[in-house]
Amino acid sequence: MIDLHCHFLPGIDDGAQTLADGLALAQAAVADGITYSVMTPHIDPGRYQNTRSTIEKAFKEFQLALRKARVPLHIGMAAEVRLSPEIVALLSENEVAFLGELDGHRIILLEFPHSHITPGAEKLIERLLKDRIRPLIAHPERNQDVIRDLSKIEPFVEMGCFLQITAGALLGNFGRAPQRRALELLEFDVLKVLASDAHNLTGRRPALREGVEAAARVIGAQAAHDLVNGNPRMILRGAVAAVA
């Protein structure tokens, strides 16, 4: 399985705080059947002052640590980018880390605030699309506006955004309302991926297998498998030579 969204890089955001934490998360991912994990630390101006350059440094150090510890997990590098006006400057400075490229568009993992959809979000996303940058919207099922009204996500799907659903949400780990929305989003006619958004080994483990099983009960086994294999492979194409 391929996990496009997780927080293993130590000390860089609210995920792993130490190298030992990061290695333990990687080992847990392998135990779950994940073969390739994309490191996606937050880029959130004013909170997590990460850039492509700082993430790349942490990524290379962690990649070396994985090899030394003989953890058989292949990793890639991107970022979970908070939707904000600062994105424009970061893009102009080549300081945004992308997941990959698909159909001539670079794919950005884009996060709305949990509390709401940012005013002006549609205009900013229109600008991204004009620059051939397509958002993969992170965990829309946990956004309070979407929880209140599922139709709030529809304009972004119609614009061409992809959706990343969190495996734990399908299992009810974030509550009944996000679970209901996650199950409903599975049936949206848009490219979707299932990811762990793992932060730790307590409530936010790197687990996809049970999420795939839950998805299969709604959309069937093959479509559920595509959420963690075929679809993420398409997004990663061009970003890596090969995905294990």
What CATH number is attached to the domain comprising 87?
Answer: 3.20.20.140
User: How many CB atoms are closer than 10 A to CB 166?
Assistant: 25
Residue 241 lies in a domain: no
- Provide the 8-state DSSP code for 53: H
Q: Which of 170, 133, 140 is nearest to 155 (CA)?
A: 140
Residue 244 lies in a domain: no
Q: Which residues contact 13 (CB under 8 A, 6 or more apart)?
A: 7, 41, 42, 44, 48, 50
Q: What is the largest CA-CA distance in the chain?
A: 48
Q: Has residue 145 been placed in a domain?
A: yes
**How far from each other are the two terminal CA atoms of the chain, in whole angstroms?**
9
Q: Whole-prediction pTM value?
A: 0.96
Residue 242 forms part of a structural domain = no
Q: What does the alpha-carbon distance between residue 12 and residue 46 come to, in Å, rounded to a whole number?
A: 14
Distance CA 95, CA 139 (A): 23
Q: Is position 243 within any domain?
A: no
Look at the chain and report how many structural domains it folds into: 1
pLDDT tens by residue, the chain, 244 residues: 999 999 999 999 999 999 999 999 999 999 999 999 999 999 998 899 999 999 999 999 999 999 999 999 999 999 999 999 899 999 999 999 999 999 999 999 999 999 999 899 999 999 999 999 999 999 999 999 999 999 999 999 999 999 999 999 999 999 999 999 999 999 999 999 999 999 999 989 999 999 999 999 999 999 999 999 999 999 998 565 444 4
Look up the domain containing 120 and give its range: 2-236
Cα gap 222→30, rounded to integer Å: 22
The answer to whether residue 47 is domain-embedded is: yes
* 37 vs 7: CA distance, rounded Å: 10
